[in-house]
Structure formats: C-alpha cells, structure tokens
Amino acid sequence: LASRSGASQRTKQVMCPDPQQVFISNLQREIEKQTGYRSSRRRRSESQYDYEVYHSLEEIQNWMFEMNRTHPDLVRMFSVGKSYEGRPLYVLQLGQRSRPQKKAIWMDCGVHAREWIGPAFCQWFVKEAISSYKYDLVTTRLLNQLSFYIMPVFNVDGYRFSWNTDRFWRKTRSKNHKFHCRGVDANRNWKVKWCNEGASSHPCDDTYCGAFPESEPEVKAVAKFLRKHKKRIKAYISIHAYAQMLLYPYSYKYATIPNFNCVESAAHSAVTALYSAYGVRYRYGPASTTLYVSSGSSIDWAYRNGIPYAFAFELRDTGHYGFLLPESLISPTCTETMRAVKAIASGLLKKCDTHKNRFTFI
C-alpha cells in the first residue's frame, strides 16, 4: 500500500524536493481514520448528515435522494446514464425554477476515485447553497438567475472500489479484453486531441486513455448531456485534488485561448476570493503550463464544445497528505472553495469587459 501511495503521489508532479522524506509514518492508520467508525457517524437524515466526514457512494446517493425529497422548490434529481458496472449516474439540478432557460453551470466531482475531497465539496456546495438561499444576497441571486448541475460522484464504480478495495484507485473499472488491468482515466477519455501527449495507450497505466474517445459510459453520458444543453451551459467546473491550483484550457498544448482575458480575470477573482477565507494560496493559469500537458481532458472538451468558461480545481493540499486529506480539513477546504465557485458564478451574471483586468469578486 505504501508503494502504491508513492506512485500515486507522483502523478500530481507537485512533490517535495526530497523524495526520501516521510510525510505519513503510518499510512494504514490514516486510511482507517477515513473509512472506519462508520456506525457512529451522523448520517441517517438530512439534519444529522455530517458534512465534515467522507461518505461512501451509498451514503452520498441516499443523501441526494433526501435533498431531492426535502427541497422540491430548489432541487431536482435525475440520472444521465449508467456506469460500466450498471450504477446510475445521478445529478442534482439546483436553482429556482421560475425561468426554465436560464444560464447554467455544470460541476462534477470524483472523476478520479481516490480524490475524496471532491465529492465532499460537491455535497458541501449543495448544502451551503440551499441553507443560505433567501438569507445570503449573493446566493439568492445566483440560484434565482442560474441553474447548477452538480454531479457529486462522476466515477461511481471507481469511487466505490476506492472505499472497498484500493484507497488509491484512480480510474474507472471497465474491463480490458487483452490485459488483466482494469479501468480508464476518465480525464483522458474525452474527444479532444485524444491519446496524445500526457496520456498513455497502455491499459495498465494510471493515465490510460481508453480504447477510443468516450469509450467509458460515464464520459459518454456526461458528454451527451453537455452537448444537449451547451447553449445554456456557460461554465464547466471539475473538482480534483491535489495541488492548490485553478486550471483552464488548454491542457493539450501551449497556446492562449481566444477569450483569455475574460477567463484569466475570472480565475484571478476566484483565487482571490478563496484566499480571503484562510490565506491559502492557489496558483492559476492554463493547465499545460501551470500543471502539465495532458490530452483528452474534460476542460479542453468543454471549451471546444462552446462552453466559454472551463475550469479544473486542484484542491488542498500540495503533497503532505495528498489524496489522504484529513477529515479535519474538509470544512476549511470546502469553505474557501465555495467562495471561489461563487466568484466564478457571479462573473457569469456580468458581461466580461476585456479591457478590465479582473472581475469584482465576492
């Protein structure tokens, strides 16, 4: 398990200069802290649901049903398809339904199974938006004027596998007929410069691009939904971990996007809003130069398909805990990220002035 962790940590290329430094002396104990003691956790009803612990897939889906049942005025739950192993791909539509053709934002979490802080944030976002509606002016305006499509767990099969079998699993769980290795990197499987630099054609690699673009039913289902609603969807946000970065296209090449000024301004506003919570610094910029080159990514696909604002967050931390971010850091991480997402969403309600250096942020 420790060796698997080392390989997984290196995937993010933001490591400590000393590769021999031990960050976590007892890795198994850290894992058990996040998966153990399930019976004692408060999760049986919405009022008791604990947003400061990590939740299994079954708990998250039950929570989604509960939010849909208890908030019919603001929440609508639906499925965009089924995973490789036949699990429904649930999405929550969030917002006041007075105007059906409002601008919309798509946000997905849990594309990579081991990045548990992602699904935790998607749940936190829904909880905060609903609880502060009619009390917070910014939230009220956002839910009145925008629709949010929230997918708490994109890679449902992989996420479940990371709970039950391998905490550091990254990919989907599809079978390969030629190799015993399973799964595809769901963020290398999109139909944009598919399987070029930064993706692997070998099924046993963590960045395996798949047999063909949209080979994974999870990717295909989300792509189909986004294509169908692309005229309304103005922003695509994907929540990942870890690195403390806010990334935008392009991932697959070193080039400047046509609406660079507007996207750069939105990113600046977001990281400034995030910093205002606890003083945590995020780097931001094109994914290719800020993190690394990768092909077949969701943000490049979303941008190429007409969604003008496409972002990927890499949440806390920068490598000390890596994918094992402690539950004690869920609250501050989600609190600051909430500010960043609200800043991006607020920017959509204004016309971007390319002559100005930045949007007003919350």
According to the model, what pLDDT value does residue 18 have? 57
Q: Is 353 exposed, middle or buried (0-12, 13-18, 19+ CB in 10 A)?
A: exposed
According to the model, what pLDDT value does residue 100 have? 72
Residue where the block lists tokens 């130069």: 289
According to the model, what pLDDT value does residue 203 have? 97
Would residue 286 be called left, alpha or beta, if left means φ above 0 and alpha means ψ between -120 and 50 degrees?
A: beta
According to the model, what pLDDT value does residue 131 have? 97
Alpha-carbon Rg for the chain, nearest whole angstrom, is 19
User: In angstroms, rounded to a whole number, what is the distance separating the alpha carbons of residues 237 and 270?
Assistant: 12
* H helix or E strand, kind and range, residue 126: helix 117-132
Tokens of 63: 């929570």
3-state SS, residue 336: helix
Task: Tell me the pairing of strands 245-248 and 233-241.
Answer: unpaired
According to the model, what pLDDT value does residue 327 have? 98
| pLDDT per position as a tens digit, 123-147 | 999 999 999 999 999 999 999 999 9
| pLDDT per position as a tens digit, 248-307 | 999 999 999 999 999 999 999 999 999 999 999 999 999 999 999 999 999 999 999 999
User: In angstroms, rounded to a whole number, what is the distance separating the alpha carbons of residues 124 and 129?
Assistant: 8
Residue where the block lists tokens 């692309």: 230
Report how far apart, in Å, the C-alpha atoms of 277 and of each of 181, 226, 294, 314, 322 are.
42, 32, 31, 17, 21
Active site residue 58: no
Catalytic residue among 58, 314, 327, 336: 314
User: In angstroms, rounded to a whole number, what is the distance separating the alpha carbons of residues 311 and 106?
Assistant: 10
According to the model, what pLDDT value does residue 32 have? 78
What is the 8-class DSSP label of residue 74? T
3-state SS, residue 113: coil
Tokens of 294: 């990768």
pTM comes to 0.90
According to the model, what pLDDT value does residue 76 have? 97
Q: Which residues of the chain have pLDDT under 50?
A: 1-17, 39-40, 42-44, 356-362
Q: Enumerate the β-bridge partners of residue 109.
A: 239
According to the model, what pLDDT value does residue 161 have? 98
